[in-house]
Amino acid sequence: MLDLTTIPVVDNHCHPVLLNQQIDALQFRGYCTEATDPTFAEKHISNTVYYLWLLRQMATFYGCERDEASVLSARNTLSNDTLLEHLFRAANIDTLVLDPAYPPTAACYSPERMGQLGRCRAVKMLRLETLMQELILQHSDFDDVIDRFSTKISHARENGYCALKSIVAYRTGLNIAEWSKDEAASAFVEARAGAAERGQLRIAHKPLIDFLLHIAFQHAAHQQLALQFHTGYGDSDTDMRLGNPLQLREVLERKDYQSMPVVLLHESYPYSQLGAYLAAIYPHVYLDLSYTIPFVDKLEMLAFTRQALSVAPASKLMFSTDSIHIPEMHWAGALRGRAVIAQVLDEMIAADEIDEEQAYHLAQQILHDTAYAVYRL
């Protein structure tokens, strides 16, 4: 059996944890699903394989019984800082690449503090749609929005962001099109009017989002700054038909964007083979392999890891957890990712595809080296 525990991981996509770690059973179950309907936490989550596995891992870590009540009371007796410290250090993390746009900043540990407690580096990315929303609310003139958006993105790297992120798959889909400035400006007027009516803005205006995204792509390409796209699995807010990474074709084909590394998040699940295919064909496309979210069991993780490693070079694959809310997720994802990657590589050794030395080299790339190159860590 390959042992990958000594390789410090770069978690290339994850979120901050909450400042208040005192959680009850319903909250805990709610954190273990992408379903937003409350009946899932009440009735179904305790019947999912992923959840049962996580409880067992936590019981071993805290040295308590495996039932939900014992596990939660064991973790809730620890102070918030101690919880983070113990779990992050046990996970052997080199770098956390954080998307601080969610959960809300005021409720969360800062990237700096997470890094201190975990004795790891913590770097951050800039979420484009959040910036768009802020600017659209603040400015009544579309040219002002364009100017400020361009300025912020063109200085992203020097201001400490190691990547950009887009959740356009959650809004209008990955089939990002080219629109005229007039079309974008009318959508901007509509978005502002809607916001004035409802008192809040949720941009889902396709010409507006697509137009601003193309501006971001130009600045990202200029700085050779990576762009992470949410692809595939998400809550029901995402139209999964438009979350297929093949929808990105027009963006991927643009010659002037080739210097912008494109990262397909969440193994594009369940389009994992298609995501691996894109990483195998386009020089600037990378596939993220996430081992906490989507919440699937080990057999499914083995399946997408096999698909990815069978199709794409390991120098195009990157480990992550997409963890959020509680530090157990970052820890469990690191353990799980190493174990799943090791098992797949063992199968490949047994099949006489590679030898052990080559297997370690491929693992090192997925867990650490590819992300160092893509984000210039």
Please give the Cα distance from 134 to 153 (Å, whole number).
Answer: 14
Smallest distance, Zn ion to C-beta of residue 340, A: 19
Residue 11 interacts with Zn ion (CB under 5 A): yes or no: no
Cβ nearer to Zn ion, comparing 34 with 134: 34
φ, ψ at 127 (rounded to 5°): -90, 120
Cβ closest to Zn ion, residue 322 vs residue 328: 322
Of 48-56, 134-142, 321-329, 352-360, the segment contacting Zn ion by CB under 5 A is: 321-329
CB-nearest residue to Zn ion:
322
What's the CA gap between 56 and 69, in Å, rounded?
12
Please, what is the minimum distance in Å from the beta carbon of residue 43 to Zn ion? 26
Least CB distance to Zn ion at residue 350 (A): 34
Q: How many residues bind Zn ion (CB under 5 A)?
A: 1
Query: Given the rule CB under 5 A, which of 142-150, 177-185, 234-242, 318-326 is the region that contacts Zn ion?
Result: 318-326
Q: Which residues 125-184 are close enough to bind Zn ion by CB under 5 A?
A: none
List 11, 129, 210, 322, residue binding Zn ion (CB under 5 A): 322
Contact (Cβ atoms closer than 8 angstroms) between residue 130 and residue 168: no
Interface segment toward Zn ion; rule CB under 5 A; list 242-250, 256-264, 274-282, 316-324: 316-324
**For residues 121-145, b (16+ Cβ closer than 10 Å) or e, as one string?**
ebbbbbbbbbbbbebbbebeebeeb
Helix residue ranges per DSSP H, 282-326: 298-311
Query: Between residues 188 and 295, which has the closer beta carbon with respect to Zn ion?
Result: 295
Q: How many helices (H) and strands (E) does the chain have?
A: 16, 8
Options 125-133, 137-145, 276-284, 317-325: segment touching Zn ion (CB under 5 A): 317-325
Torsion region of 268: left, alpha or beta (phi above 0 gives left; psi -120 to 50 gives alpha)? left
| DSSP 8-state secondary structure symbol assigned to residue 18 | B
Of the ranges 105-113, 203-211, 319-327, 332-340, which one interacts with Zn ion (CB under 5 A)? 319-327
Residue 309 in tokens = 């490693």
Give the shortest CB-322-to-Zn ion separation in angstroms.
Answer: 4
Name which of 322 and 369 has its Cβ closer to Zn ion: 322
Decide whether 71 or 174 has the Cβ nearer to Zn ion: 174
- Sheet of 93-98: strand order equals 9-14, 93-98, 121-127, 161-166, 226-229, 262-264, 285-290, 317-320
Q: Identify which of 316, 308, 306 has the alpha carbon closest to the alpha carbon of residue 282.
A: 316
CB of 330 to Zn ion, least distance (A): 12
Tell me how far, at minimum, the Cβ of 129 lies from Zn ion, in Å. Answer: 13
Task: Give, in order, the Cα–Cα distances in Å from 344 to each of 11, 68, 105, 330.
Answer: 19, 31, 37, 21
Contact 273, 236 (CB under 8 A): no
The minimum distance between CB 230 and Zn ion, in angstroms, equals 7
Segment near Zn ion (CB under 5 A); pick from 45-53, 237-245, 315-323, 336-344: 315-323
Q: In the bound complex, what is the minimum distance in angstroms from residue 180's beta carbon to Zn ion?
A: 32
With the C-alpha atoms ordered 17, 18, 20, 22, is the resulting torsion angle positive or negative? Answer: negative
Interacting residues toward Zn ion by CB under 5 A: 322
